[in-house]
Amino acid sequence: MATIKDVARRAGVSTATVSAVMNDSAFVSPELRARVVSAIRELRYEPSLAARNLRRNRTQLIALAVADLSNPFYARIVWSAEAAVAAWGYSLVLFNSDEKPDTERRILSRIRTLGCDGMVLVPVGAANQYQPHEFDGIATVLLGRSIEGNSADTVTIDNREAGRQAADYLLDLGHRRIGSITGPMQLSTSKGRLDGMIEAMAARGLAPQPGHIRSGEFREEAAYSVARDMMGSPDRPTAIYVANGVMAIGVMRAVADLGLRCPQDISIASTDTVAGAGGLKPRLTRTEHPIADMTNEALRLLVDRIEERVSEPVRSIVFQPALIVGESCMPLRENAG
């Protein structure tokens, strides 16, 4: 395998001149440039990416730490990220925190040890578990969830609007007893979506009844359990807003196992969906994320930071959710609940 010294010897120039031609880092006369290019072609010289990265103090690695790889929502993020990272000339290193702050802490340490140039993180801890400058020293973009008071760039959806859209749709159908199955309340996504639902109800002089707001921990089985409990009570809600797609599958299973019908006995709306949910009957009404656009934007912001193309202290990009009307909701007057 040819080296830079072989190219310099063939072209009759110094290794510094070869480097200047390859990196376009200094003026080289047209004659010398032509000799260097000819030597590179003749020797089929391919520079060592590792050596080049070492000189640039780069690894060309981007870390992606997601919250739950068993959730197809995050599989869609990974799929989008792999394509985007390759287009930027980087390689992806994937981590899964499994919604556990202790695991996330170990992941953050590992990312620094590997010398990744930057990371996209779906945070799983409460805001008070992070230092204000937690991510100083490594380019970081928070994806999907924000951390109040932190200095990292963020790409999210308007979670309040997502909860508000779903609740307004149910309210417009005549529902007044609306329950919610939320995620962990220390997360910005869970809090924002529930706040949006409560605000929509308050705007019409309503409030959720005690016991009608329960945490499903963003897990299918937990949502199944709390949904069975909620819908087994005499004053069960006539409609439920579920804060993510995985939990919505658990809720739909609970409805079926209780011998109830959706939407005839209970209407269900969610935020986001999961792969394969399109085959559910009835088709789920939900507010959706533009996942590919959000992932691409997060990586664009990250590469800007890595390559020092921006000077703003913090950037926050907020995407708007879209309401997708399915068949899982119906007007209250037709509802047996």
Question: pLDDT tens digits, residue range 253-291?
Answer: 999 999 999 999 999 999 987 665 556 689 999 999 999
291, 175, 189, 317: which is closest to 242 by C-alpha?
Answer: 189
Amino acid at 261: R
Residues 257 and 173 both lie in one domain? yes
pLDDT of residue 335 exceeding 50, the answer is no
At residue 119 the predicted structure's pLDDT band, cuts being 50, 70 and 90, is very high
Tens digit of pLDDT for each residue in 164-173? 999 999 999 9
Lowest mean pLDDT among 51-55, 60-64, 145-149, 256-260: 51-55
Residues 104 and 177 both lie in one domain? no
Tens digit of pLDDT for each residue in 238-251? 999 999 999 999 99
Do 43 and 10 contact (CB within 8 A), yes or no? yes
With respect to residue 53, please indicate whether it lies within any of the assigned structural domains: no
SS (H, E, C) 104-117: HHHHHHHHHHHCCC
Can you read off the two tokens belonging to residue 202?
């308050």
Residues 84 and 39 both lie in one domain? no
Residues 308 and 190 both lie in one domain? no
Instruction: Look at the block and give the residue holding tokens 């949904």.
Output: 227
Q: What is the pLDDT of residue 3?
A: 85
Could you give the percent of the chain with pLDDT greater than 70? Answer: 92
Q: How far is CA 64 from CA 19, 156, 188, 299, in A?
A: 33, 16, 19, 10
Residues 198 and 329 both lie in one domain? yes
Q: What is the pLDDT of residue 48?
A: 60
Residues 174 and 271 both lie in one domain? yes
94, 161, 149, 163: which is closest to 122 by C-alpha?
Answer: 94
pLDDT of residue 51 exceeding 90, the answer is no
Contacts of 13 (CB under 8 A, 6+ apart): 32, 35, 36
Cβ neighbours of 49 (radius 10 Å): 11
29 three-class SS: coil
Q: What is the CATH number of the domain that holds 201?
A: 3.40.50.2300
Instruction: Look at the block and give the residue holding tokens 């009957």.
Output: 281
Residues 191 and 276 both lie in one domain? yes
Amino acid at 315: R
Q: What is the CATH number of the domain that holds 23?
A: 1.10.260.40
Number of compact structural domains in the chain: 3
The CA distance from 66 to 100, in Å, is: 11
The CA distance from 290 to 287, in Å, is: 10
Residues 100 and 218 both lie in one domain? no
The CA distance from 143 to 140, in Å, is: 10
The highest-confidence range among 9-18, 51-60, 297-306, by mean pLDDT, is 297-306
pTM of this prediction exceeds 0.85: no
| Domain that residue 278 falls in | 159-288+323-336
Tens digit of pLDDT for each residue in 221-230? 999 999 999 9
Residues 106 and 219 both lie in one domain? no
**Ranges assigned E (strand) in the chain:** 61-66, 91-96, 118-121, 139-143, 153-157, 178-182, 213-215, 239-242, 267-271, 285-288, 316-319, 322-324
